[in-house]
Structure 1
Amino acid sequence: MIAAHGLRWILTVLFVVVTAVSLARALRPDPAHAAAERTTHALHAAMGPAMAVMVWPRGMDVPGTPQAAFFALAAAWFVAAALFRGRWIWQAAGEEPHPRTHTILHALMMGAMAWMVLAMPGGMNSGHSAAGAGSMADMPGMKMSGPGAGMSMRLHGAFHAVAVVLLVVFVAVGLWWLSRAFDTARLTPEPAVASASGANRAESAALRRAVDAGCHGAMALGMAVMLLVMV
């Protein structure tokens, strides 16, 4: 939960936009669109609403264990994809193959999401009630500051250390994804070596890769902000 009302809305809009783009990519009517790529976009589309709900006080009324189990399984799926399907995990027709490194980053994001759902007291009493505040104050690894709906959560001990490490990692990952998005968006096919239709297809593929990288970067930085308010 985030106490600053304005920041709640900024992150909510960010996660909703990422969800919409991921869902559109997952449902894109293209028979050449690889099934594993669709699964990736679908999992990120599921991650967006969970992150958006987490920033609001009522988000702590949502059971955390089912969410953690879902995202742990999603992380395991990405790990399995990286380990058992070779260096290139999937490739849609006319598009650059998806490297294993990206899949590991997806696994890291899903695993961190599972950890955050459990670290932030999901499934416990509401954070805006007096009883809820007392219950959450007694949770291991959590400290509460401020009364009622304006209170914020702070991690301590080992929970704090993990959050700091994840914060640094997601800032770096987010900036890396965004730099990749900007670099990819600048790429255009050489007209001398491609037909007009081929050039258009290449440009469309480059734009899709740039949008994907931008969404992943935005999600990673959004997670970094969530972690920042917890430390």
Structure 2
Amino acid sequence: MSATDVVYAMLTGLFVASSVYALWQVVRPRSFGRRARGDHLLHAVMASAMAVMPWHRGSEVPPQGQTVFFAAVALWFPLTSVLSRRGRRLVGLVRRTPYAVGMVAMAWMPVRHGGVTDAGTGDVITGVLTLCLLAYALRSLTRGMPRLRGPSGDVDVSTGIGGPCDRFWHGSTAMGTAIMLLIHH
């Protein structure tokens, strides 16, 4: 097994686990609204597509179909936030932007790897998407960590596991997506 195959296997494992977690969020007994269930279902679809992407060189779905689907899904997150009747819309929009960026990255991959754009423009778009995903991944994965310096009593300790688990899976998926953007296959 080559080093590339090892990386592909690790990414596949990450995305399969992420997809299972997202599907569990859809079907678990705790009551979610339709929007949250839709979000989790779309995350499961994205993670499933990412899991097979390194191994499946020629896709059954044409690259244009993948681009259109994931571009439409990318619009789901800001639109449902803006159209929401609950909470502050701007705060919701900011919170949902990283999910939209992940879907834009999914829409961008077939375009980039298909050679549809010139190298300069493609590299800039890929770089911006990668930096956004890495920033979100680092924020998600380190958000609950205690500070190394400072008073010990100022760390917010959560009693529920949902927050840390959600941050772990969202951050890990964003990190894997950033890696997939940089891998040419």
Structure 1 and Structure 2 fold alike (TM over 0.5)? yes
Q: How does 1:21-40 map to 2 (within 5 A)?
A: 21-30=21-30, 32-40=31-39
Aligned letter for 2:171?
G
Kept in 2, the 8 Å contact 1:81–1:103? The answer is: no
Shift of 1:60: 2.9
Shift of 1:11: 0.3
CA offset digits 1:112-162 (Å, max 9, x no partner): 2111132223xxxxxxxxxxxxxxxxx4448xxxxxxxxxxxxx2211111
2:94 and 2:46 map into 1 onto residues whose CA distance is 20
Q: Which of 163, 170, 173 lines up with 1:209 in the alignment? A: 163
Query: Partner residue of 2:9?
Result: 9
Q: How does 1:56-135 map to 2 (within 5 A)?
A: 56=55, 58-62=56-60, 63-85=62-84, 88=87, 99-121=92-114
Kept in 2, the 8 Å contact 1:181–1:210? The answer is: yes
Identity %, equivalent residues: 31
1:224 and 1:209 map into 2 onto residues whose CA distance is 22
Shift of 1:228: 2.5
Report the 3-state secondary structure (helix = DSSP H, G, I; strand = E; otherwise coil) of the residue aligned with 1:60.
coil
Point out 4+ residue stretches in structure 1 off by more than 3 angstroms: 86-90, 139-142
Q: Which of 168, 175, 180 lines up with 1:221 in the alignment? A: 175
Matched, 1:187 2:180: no
Query: Partner residue of 1:41?
Result: 40
Shift of 1:50: 0.8
2:111 and 2:145 map into 1 onto residues whose CA distance is 34
Q: Which of 129, 141, 148 lines up with 1:166 in the alignment? A: 129
- How many residues get paired? 172
Shift of 1:69: 1.9
Q: Name the Cα RMSD after superposition.
A: 2.5
Q: TM-score, with normalisation over the residues of structure 2?
A: 0.81
Aligned letter for 1:187?
V
- Stretches of structure 1 lacking an aligned partner (at least 5 in a row): 91-97, 122-138, 143-155, 189-202
1:54 and 1:21 map into 2 onto residues whose CA distance is 19
Q: How does 1:146-161 map to 2 (within 5 A)?
A: 156-161=119-124
Shift of 1:83: 1.6
- Stretches of structure 2 lacking an aligned partner (at least 5 in a row): 147-155
